[in-house]
């Protein structure tokens, strides 16, 4: 009996003195909601309030997004937001999110290398069919395409073969062309097997520049190629681009070589002609790219940049060092060379395109910031450096984020783990860029926007974030105040047209099922962001 009474006392004591781990459930829910609200207030895109028309488009987009994310949650092999681009590309194109993004005006593209900016399919179907193209191979079995015989320059160990004759002798032209395309594209059905290490993929990647480099220096091919580069950007609703280029010396069919000054003037003329034909395209500007291979090469590139910037100050707008950071010279080791740049030089350094932490490579971020870089190319490793990340935010240094490039070049596999997710969560200045899309069959900028909004952004992020990325790309560009004003006027007009097109194509009357999905998801939006189970 005594034992029974003691048990009753203990139970009563537990019920009244210890009512539960959560003493006030209502307070708990309020605290929980407050934390969610606080985090959302930090995220990129919150400075853009949507109009009623934009809100309608946002509901349409969120229906598309949530449908694809739900499919991926249920079927991991169809989760495009988490898959490697080479495995996801066809599935991305079949969904509704991608055509939405294709229609969307994208503002400015602030990081793309001209030698890898155009679809590899177009290059094969057009440039390799030009009369006189030759092919040779190096000792490492790398193809070199050219329109001139310079065996020493091309490092050829074979004879030169005429492409047109090889194509005529091939069993199937399409198979022969596919073989040529493999020389200038990293695409692989099983990239994890073809490129298991960083070295494997970077060796192939850099070799491809050597494969096509002399073709792009051929005057008639160069003109066609640059026009196609602008066309692909325009068709993907990009309105302006800042191109990384070394402005190669060109040669013609007679072997005459033209200076970089000539190349620059030709670039300007092509851009002006394109803008005249398509007035809602603002044109392009060049960020001169020197290779970070050795001090002699860097000094020569600085000398060339100084002269070109002096002659074309409104077109050759800044300087950068390009190439693999893991093997190239770090910025700290070339400070004396960089000190030769004029004080007014605008710098746009590649920095932090590495997985290393506390190394000479990710220290490029520190030096780039101290050298007052205007923007940072990639900035992948920045998330490991909170002090530098705060400096980037305080000084409004824009990050040029290239999602697919970082994945294809083996920095990240599942794009949900990309550090740009943290940059978006803390509203670090950034724009979406495509780096070298021609080398991985990603024509235009829409594929990179897909991963930005579907993988790196919160599940709840929609049109506000997309609009912020588009508008901020103009903010972080090198356009003058007058050019920005003109660009924003064009962008506002095209954005309004885009909203109308979306509503016409996917509006309420055409998508009752979509409206139902949106209504359901609106109720569970909070639990979608922070699942309780």
Tell me the per-residue pLDDT of 297-353, one tens digit each, with 9 for 90 and over. 999 999 999 999 999 999 999 999 999 999 989 999 999 999 999 999 999 999 999
For 412, the 3-state DSSP assignment is coil
- Rounded to an integer, what is the distance from CA 62 to the centroid of its chain? 22
pLDDT, one tens digit per residue, over 452-491 is 999 999 999 999 999 999 999 999 999 999 999 999 999 9
How confident is the model over 246-296, as pLDDT tens digits?
999 999 999 999 999 999 999 999 999 999 999 999 999 999 999 999 999
Rg (CA), the chain: 27
Strands 375-378 and 398-401 come out as parallel
**Residue tagged active-site, from 353, 400, 443, 472:** 353
Q: Which of 111, 113, 378, 472 is catalytic?
A: 378
Say what the pLDDT of residue 45 is: 79
Q: What is the mean pLDDT of the chain?
A: 91
**Measured CA distances, 192 to 86, 89, 407 (Å):** 10, 16, 11
User: Rounded to two decimals, what is the model's pTM?
Assistant: 0.91
Per-residue pLDDT of 93-133, as tens digits, reads 999 999 999 999 999 999 999 999 999 999 999 999 999 99
154 is catalytic: no
Residue corresponding to tokens 């050829």: 156
350 in catalytic set: no
Domain spanning 99-493: which superfamily?
A: Metal-dependent hydrolases (3.20.20.140)
Residue 429 CA to residue 201 CA, distance in Å, equals 29
> For position 507, what pLDDT does the model report?
87
- C-alpha 201/C-alpha 183 separation (Å) is 13
DSSP characters for 230-295?
HHHHHHTT--EEEEEE--PPEE-TT--EE-HHHHHHHHHHHHHHHHHHSTT---EEEEEEEE-S-H
């Amino acid at each position: 009996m005594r034992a029974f009474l003691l048990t009753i006392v203990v139970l009563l004591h537990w019920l009244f003195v210890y009512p539960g781990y959560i003493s006030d459930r209502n307070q708990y829910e309020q605290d929980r909601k407050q934390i969610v609200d606080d985090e959302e207030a930090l995220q990129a895109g919150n400075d853009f309030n949507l109009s009623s028309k934009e809100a309608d488009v946002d509901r349409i987009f969120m229906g598309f997004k949530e449908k694809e994310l739900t499919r991926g949650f249920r079927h991991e092999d169809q989760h495009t937001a988490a898959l490697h681009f080479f495995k996801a590309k066809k599935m991305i194109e079949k969904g509704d999110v991608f055509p939405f993004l294709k229609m969307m005006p994208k503002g400015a593209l602030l990081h793309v290398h001209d030698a890898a900016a155009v679809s590899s399919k177009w290059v094969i179907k057009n440039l390799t069919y030009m009369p006189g193209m030759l092919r040779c191979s190096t000792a490492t079995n790398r193809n070199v395409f050219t329109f001139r015989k310079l065996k020493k320059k091309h490092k050829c160990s074979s004879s030169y073969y005429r492409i047109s004759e090889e194509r005529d002798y091939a069993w199937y032209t399409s198979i022969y062309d596919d073989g040529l395309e493999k020389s200038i594209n990293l695409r692989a059905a099983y990239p994890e097997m073809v490129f298991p290490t960083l070295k494997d993929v970077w060796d192939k990647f850099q070799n491809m520049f050597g494969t096509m480099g002399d073709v792009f220096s051929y005057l008639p091919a160069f003109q066609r190629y640059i026009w196609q580069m602008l066309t692909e950007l325009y068709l993907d609703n990009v309105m302006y681009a800042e191109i990384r280029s070394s402005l190669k010396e060109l040669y013609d069919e007679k072997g005459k070589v033209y200076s970089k000054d000539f190349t620059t003037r030709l670039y300007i003329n092509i851009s002006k002609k394109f803008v005249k034909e398509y007035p809602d395209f603002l044109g392009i500007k060049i960020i001169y790219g020197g290779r970070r291979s050795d001090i002699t090469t860097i000094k020569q590139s600085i000398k060339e940049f100084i002269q070109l910037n002096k002659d074309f100050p409104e077109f050759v707008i800044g300087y950068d060092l390009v190439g693999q950071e893991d093997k190239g010279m770090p910025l700290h080791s070339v400070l004396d060379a960089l000190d030769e740049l004029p004080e007014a030089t605008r710098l746009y350094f590649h920095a932090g395109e590495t997985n290393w932490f506390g190394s000479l490579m990710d220290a490029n971020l520190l030096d780039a910031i101290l050298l007052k870089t205007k923007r940072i190319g990639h900035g992948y490793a920045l998330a490991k450096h909170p002090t530098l990340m705060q400096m980037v935010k305080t000084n409004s240094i824009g990050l040029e984020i290239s999602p697919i490039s970082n994945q294809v070049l083996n920095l990240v596999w599942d794009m949900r783990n990309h550090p740009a997710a943290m940059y978006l969560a803390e509203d670090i200045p950034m724009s979406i860029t495509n780096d070298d899309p021609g080398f991985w069959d990603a024509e235009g900028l829409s594929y990179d926007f897909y991963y930005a909004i579907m993988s790196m952004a919160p599940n709840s992020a929609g049109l506000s974030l997309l609009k912020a990325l588009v508008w901020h790309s103009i903010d972080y560009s090198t356009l003058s105040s007058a050019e920005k004003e003109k660009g924003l006027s064009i962008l506002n007009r095209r954005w309004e047209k885009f909203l109308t097109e979306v509503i016409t194509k996917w509006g309420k009357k055409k998508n009752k099922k979509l409206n139902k999905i949106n209504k359901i998801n609106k109720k569970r939006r909070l639990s979608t962001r922070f699942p309780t189970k």
